[in-house]
Structure formats: structure tokens, C-alpha cells
A and B are shown apart, each in its own frame.
Chain A
Amino acid sequence: MATFGRAVGVTPRPGFWGYLWSWLTTVDHKRIGIMYGATTLAYLLIGGLEALLIRLQLAHAESRLLDPDTYNQVFTMHGLTMIFLVVMGFNSTLFNLVVPLQIGARDVAYPRLNAFSYWMFLFGSILLNLGWLWGQAPDVGWFGYAPLTGVKANPGLGPDFYVMGLQALGVSSVAAGLNFVATIINLRAPGMSLFKMPVFSWMALLTSFLMIFALPVLAIGLIEVMFDRLFGTNFFNPEAGANPLLWQHLFWIFGHPEVYILVLPAMGVISEVLPVFSRKPLFGYPFVVLSGVFIAFLSYGVWAHHMFAVGLGPLANTVFGITTMLIGIPTGVKIFNWLATLWRGELKFKTPMLFALAFIAVFTVGGISGVMHATVPSDYQQTDTYFIVAHFHYVVAGIVFAVFAGVYYWWPKYTGRLLDEGLGKLHFWLFFLGFNLTFGPMHLLGLWGMPRRQYTYPAGLGWDFLNAFQSAAAFLMALGTLVFVINAVKSLRSGAPAGDDPWDGRTLEWAIPSPPPAYNFAEIPVVRYRDELWARKYGPHGERAHAPGTSRRPLSGHNPGGGDGRASDNPGHTDGHGAHIHLPNPSYYPLIVAFGIALGMFGAVMLRPVEVGGLGPLGWALVGLGTLITVYGSYGWSFEPAG
């Protein structure tokens, strides 16, 4: 425990409890990022286990390994876990760890709000999973279509945990989104105009906007489901003349921007890794950035492509078919710019690079099947089959490649240690092979008519072999992930020290020690160029990058090839050790407020009748208690003296 603390740059206080308290009250973005990372990793393993259960069930026709009820819970939780807890969790991890350093800031704009986002994330994830304890985890698919979520079709607690778990996670994301927009807009180092900012931070900005502006729509949809279940409203009640399709609309108006919330940070990671491991600047930076902006806006105009087969009519289908094809264009622009970055680069095939290259390949495949879905008549055949499952795993599970690229790339910075290259490559090949052998055949199965969201299938339809094959292949991915966990543990225990700049990086986070000191930069740097660190090391146009005698050297106050060699050119290294820098005080109010909100939301679930596992009207006591705690925490937060 203490060694981990030292590894991440924090000196443990005396005693275990003092150490724990320091984590519970931290407002430091780096520690918050680590907490997000640890939580995300745990859910990656849980979600992966859920995936393996699905594959075990589907390995044989007419299998009864899992009964239909259990299967519905497992596949619902697999989707919810992977989307909301793993990918979004990983994005939050990276935003917290990387963004303030890349923009040359000491922390985010609202450190306590940042801590609140994490605790809300943790409690929300627990609330979402709490249903397992009742044997009633959400079982309505991650998309929760009405009227299946109605109290008539689903009297148990599953949909209630679904609604409240997602609401809690939504609060976390909106708070984080607000914080990171404020941070990126207002706390950039002097001289760093938006068009000099690293692409990852740009994508973080766009993702944060999307989070703020998409989650409220989901919140309303969820409120409507909850009110129907608890208070007898008629939002999705056909008997009162309502249209259950309203849920689908509201959900996908959120849902399509949501998938761009998932993928834009991943694209940001790729845009950081490729230039470093090609030793070339990103090709077409303005185009990559503007494509991201277009994608963010257009994402609000395509949602009904998830609904082509519900009967909206040819006009609606045509319009959304066209907009969906249009949104493929900016993504294509990014891919071509990445390829151009690689072209004639001095390529270094380290593990981060391998994962980044695989992401491009895998995402392109997923993008192509996406365009096939956008062709409305084709989609009439493909929808609700495994062809769709193939598509979204190639794009969304494809994001996992970018996740690992980011992990292997930034690991040394925050732990001060290197991950083992050999194990990394083993992880990569196992995962890449397993991924393609698992999800590739799903295209065929889909075209052969195998429907999705079903717990089993009849024998003799020609689907048997591929299903068994895919299930076996899934274990290769699991094995690869296991190799990663071993690598991570090994690195933390006895990995080689990383130094400040193990990859010869281009952006400011590599200019400070690994792990970074609490205050990040001893002096906030003044930025003059895009890829500011590369310019300081090798000149504004990288002229000295290939001069003889300037082999890559970690910056440690000595820069014989560039600048004038004075320590003050290196933002992380001055003799002051940041003694004059004020950091914000730790606080326990974020934790208290998050707990209060989560408790209140749990209380709302418990309002359901005792026969199904709730507490009935006694639930109001929990709601009331949660509200009181929230109010108390909010006042404490507002009135406590800061930093």
C-alpha cells in the first residue's frame, strides 16, 4: 500500500487510517484519476466475466447453462458495465490524469467538484450493480425499451436499479463535463491558444460538451420511466394513448451523442500516440480538430438510425439515413490524417503503437459496417441480428484498443515505472487475435439470420460451429487481459524506473517528473508552439530531432542540443520545488454530498412494494435521509474555507 502511494507520488501519512483518509478527502486530479482507473479496471474484469458467461451460454444450441431470466440480466449488465463503467470510466481516468498536465495547469477548475464526480461514479456503479443482491439486476438491455421497463411487464426491481443507477452516473458525468469545459477553456497555460492545444485535450473538451448536453435527455427519459413505475403516470402507457416509441427517441437522442462520448477520447489518444511513435507531427491538425467538432454537432442529427425498423415512415428514414452517412465523413477524415501521420515516419513499434494501429484497423472495419447499416433497406435485414452486434463491438470494443494504447503510453508518467515490453506485446497479440476471431464471424451469423438479444438458438440452422468457435476465441481476449494484469502488478512492484520522458514525447506532461509532483509544474510554462515540448527539445520545426549527437535523452535540466541549457527552460525543474505554490485543501464534503444523493436514489428504488423486494412507503425515509445528508453536505461545501 505504502509503496503504491510512493509510486504515485504521495507520501503516506502515518498509519493506515490516515492514509485512507487522505484518499477519501483528496481533491488532487492525479489521485482522482488513479481512483477512476482502479475502479475502471475492476469493472473491466467484471464486464469481461459477464461477456464470458454470455459466450459460454451461446457456445451450444439450446443450452440451459443460464436460464433466460439470468441471461437477460447478464447481457444487460455486460452492456451497461462496459459502456458506462469501463469506457466512460477510462475516459474520466485519462481526462483527470492527462488534461491538466497537457494544458499546463495545476489542477482542474473545481477540484472539489472533481472529487464529487468520482464518488458519484463509484456510488452510481454500485447502485447499478446492487440488483444482483436481490437476484434482480437490470434485465431490460442497456437500452431499456418501454414498455418492457413498465411495471406491468417488469414488476421486479431490475428496471428501478437501471433507472436510478444511470441517473447517479449521469450526475457524475454532467459534473465532470462542466468541470472539464471550464478547465480547458479557462486554465490553459499562457500562449496556449485552442489551436495549439494537444488533440487529446481538444477531444476531452468536445466530449465534455457532449456529456453536458446529452445526459439531461436521458435523465428525462429515465424520470418518465420512474414516474410510470412509481406514480402511475402515462408516459409510455398505450392504454392512455401514449406511444412507447417516445422512450426510444429520448434514449437515442442521448444515445447517439453517447457513443461519440465513448469514442472521441479514444481518437484523442490515437492522435497523441501516433505522432510520438512516428516521430512526426500529427498530419492535418486543424482537420482532425474540426472533424471532431463536426462529429459532435452532427451526432444530434442521426439518432433515429437506431429505429429504422419501427415504422417511422420513408421520409424520416431517408433523412436519418442521409445524416448517418454524412457523419461517417469526418471520421474518415481523421483516419486519413492518421495514415498520413504514419507515412514516412520513423516508426517505433512499441506496445502503445501496436494498440493504436490496431484501433485504426478495427475501427475502420466497424465504420464500414456502420455505413452498411446507414443504407436503410440493408438495415431492414441487418437490424436486430448479429450483424449489428458485430458492428458495435468492432467500434465500441475497438475503443478498448485505444484504451490500452493510452494505458501503455501514460502508465510510466503516473507510476514512474515502465511496463514490460515483452508482456505488452504478448497481451496485444492475444487480444488482437481473440478480438477478431470472436467478433469477425458475427458478421456472417448476422447475415445468416441469427437474432440478437436471445438466450439461445435452435440447433441445425448452421450457426452451431461459429458460435462455439467465437466462444473459444473469447478466452484469448481474457488471457490477454490477464497478461496485462500480471504486467501491471509486476511493474508496480519492480518495474524499471521510467524517467520523465521515456517515449521522447511531444506534449507538456512529459516535461515534468514521473510521477508528477503534487503541484504539477514548478513554474507554469509559457507556450509558443503546438507540440511545445518537442519544440523546446528540438527546435520549432523539429530541426534538431535528427541532428547527429542528439539521441533521445530524458530532460533532466540538461539540454545540450536545444535552448540554452538552463534549468528554467524546463518547466518541471527549478530549485524551488514549488514551495510557494498554494494547493487547494482536501475536503470530505464531496464524498458526503455524493453519498447523500446516492442514498436518496437508492431510497427511490426501495419505494417499490415489499412483495418485490422494496420497502414500500418506508423508502421515503431513505429518500428523506439522503436529501438531508445532501443538504448538509452542500452547505458545508459552500461555507468551508478553500485552499
Chain B
Amino acid sequence: MARTDQKKPNPAADVGTEQHDLTVTYIRVAAVLAVVTLIEVATYYVAMARGLTVSVLLALSAVKFALVVLYFMHLKFDNKILAFVFSGPLLLMIAVGIALMALFGTLIYPGPVW
């Protein structure tokens, strides 16, 4: 039962593993990001109901956010602990932020004072 200082080997999963060339994936993602940005700017200029503008813009930026996080930051393919450790605070802060906006009366936005 003598134990040496050798524990169950569990090295960090990404050292010394076979690396695939992800260049094409990254370029595709970047292309989508560019297109979405274009649509966002177009949305800014196209006149439509305020609620619609807000929803579309928020949705589009959420898409960009997600693409960068999942692909460029590799979160889609990494250990779920990392996703947990990032999305927890992200969601918490969004909730707190929404609560703060509600408390200051700018959530259902009444428009500027000027």
C-alpha cells in the first residue's frame, strides 16, 4: 500500500493534445460578425417602432456576444465548469442591472427629459 507521490494523472486537457487548424472556422465566424454588425447599423437607420428597434438590436448584439464567447473563446468545446463560472456572474449581473433600471424608471424607457 506504499504510495508514491503519483496521483491519478489528470493533466490539463489541452496540453500536448492534437491541435486542429481552426483558421477556416474563425474566418467564417468573423464573416458572420461583420454581416451582423452591418445589419445592426442598418437597423439604426431604418425607421420603425421603438420597441422593435430595441428588440432587434439587443438580439443581434446577443448573437455577436455568443459567437465570440462560444467560438473565439472556445467555450463551446471546453470543460463545462468554465461555462458555469462565466455564465453565472453574467446572468446575475444582467438580473441586477435590469432591477436597477426598473428602480430608476429607465427600464420601460419613457424617453429623454430633453
A523 pairs with B5, CB closer than 8 A: yes
User: Complex: how many Å from CA A253 to CA B3?
Assistant: 49
B7 pairs with A185, CB closer than 8 A: no
A312 pairs with B103, CB closer than 8 A: yes
Chain A, 42-53, contact with B by CB distance < 8 Å: what is the 0/1 string? 000000000000
Determine the chain A residues whose CB is within 8 A of the CB of B104 once the complex forms.
243, 246
Q: Which of A140-193 contact B (CB under 8 A)?
A: 181, 185, 189-190
Interface presence of A400 (CB below 8 A) = no
Interface presence of A509 (CB below 8 A) = no
A524 pairs with B7, CB closer than 8 A: yes
Smallest CB separation, B58 vs chain A (Å): 22
Chain B, 1-38, contact with A by CB distance < 8 Å: what is the 0/1 string? 11111011000000000000000000000000000000
Smallest CB separation, B111 vs chain A (Å): 15
Closest residue of A by beta carbon distance from B113: A241
B81 pairs with A185, CB closer than 8 A: yes
Interface centre among B4, B89, B103, B104 (most CB of A within 10 A): B103
B96 pairs with A568, CB closer than 8 A: no
Known contacts A190-B8, A304-B103, A312-B103: does B96 contact A566 (CB below 8 Å)? Answer: no
B3 pairs with A568, CB closer than 8 A: yes
Smallest CB separation, B104 vs chain A (Å): 7
Known contacts A243-B104, A249-B103, A300-B92: does B3 contact A581 (CB below 8 Å)? Answer: no
Determine the chain B residues whose CB is within 8 A of the CB of A566 once the complex forms.
1
User: Complex: how many Å from CA A301 to CA B100?
Assistant: 11
Interface presence of A569 (CB below 8 A) = yes
Q: Which of B70-90 contact A (CB under 8 A)?
A: 81, 85, 89
B7 pairs with A316, CB closer than 8 A: no
Interface presence of B95 (CB below 8 A) = yes
Determine the chain B residues whose CB is within 8 A of the CB of A524 once the complex forms.
5, 7
Closest residue of A by beta carbon distance from B9: A190
Q: Could you list 16 examples of A-B contacts with CB < 8 Å?
A: A181-B85, A185-B81, A189-B7, A190-B8, A243-B104, A246-B104, A253-B96, A297-B92, A300-B95, A300-B96, A523-B3, A524-B5, A524-B7, A568-B1, A568-B3, A569-B1
- Chain A residues packing against B (C-beta within 8 Å): 181, 185, 189-190, 212-213, 241, 243, 246, 249, 253, 297, 300-301, 304, 312, 316, 523-524, 526, 564, 566, 568-569, 580-581
Instruction: Please give 13 more A-B residue pairs, beta carbons under 8 A apart, in addition to A300-B96, A526-B3.
Output: A181-B85, A190-B7, A212-B89, A213-B89, A249-B100, A249-B103, A300-B92, A301-B95, A526-B7, A564-B1, A566-B1, A568-B2, A581-B5
